[in-house]
Amino acid sequence: MARTGRLRKAGSSVTKLKQYKWVAKDYAYKLRVLEYLDTSTMPASMAECFRSSNFNSKQREVNAWKKLRAVIEAKVAGGSRYHQRCRTLGMGATLPVELEEQLVRWINELRADGVPVTSMMPKQAQELYRTSGPCIGLFKASWSWQKPLLRHH
């Protein structure tokens, strides 16, 4: 009986499809690519730094890095060269920057004494928020807010 349906790919019974996955590059790598680009041409830099045939998207990515060169150099000089993304103070939070800095000082004081702060931090953050004056909106100090703050500090 003749086979019906889709033909199999020759050589294997199970074929895995190629997965295109985005990989974040750290600031140190971006700076190395930009420094290499300073001494050579764009095609030579693409051939040296990226072992891919898709040079158009990589060239677009490097051009975006060129626009952000000052930021990348500042991140590398500031010690966050291995971070792919950095959360600035006050970003994505309803706490004002001054209160966030005050909370960070409180966390660091307790950590210096060897006290675990993870369970006490939401209560302290909400207390700071309530005593700060006019409250705009509801501040919950959720885990998704705590995690980047703890990682950053």
∠ CA 69-150-100 to the nearest 5 degrees?
Answer: 80
Q: Which of 27, 142, 31 is nearest to 85 (CA)?
A: 27
The answer, yes or no, to whether residue 55 has pLDDT greater than 90, is: no
At 69 the pLDDT is 94
Q: In whole angstroms, what is the distance from residue 128 CA to residue 94 CA?
A: 12
CB atoms under 10 Å from CB of 141, counted, come to: 21
Using pLDDT thresholds of 50, 70 and 90, give the confidence band for residue 135. Answer: low
Give the CB-side neighbour count of residue 122, counting CA atoms within 13 A.
10
- Helix, strand, coil shares, percent, the chain, to 5: 50, 0, 50
- For residue range 22-46, what is the model confidence (pLDDT) as tens digits? 778 888 899 999 999 999 988 888 8
State pTM to two decimals: 0.48
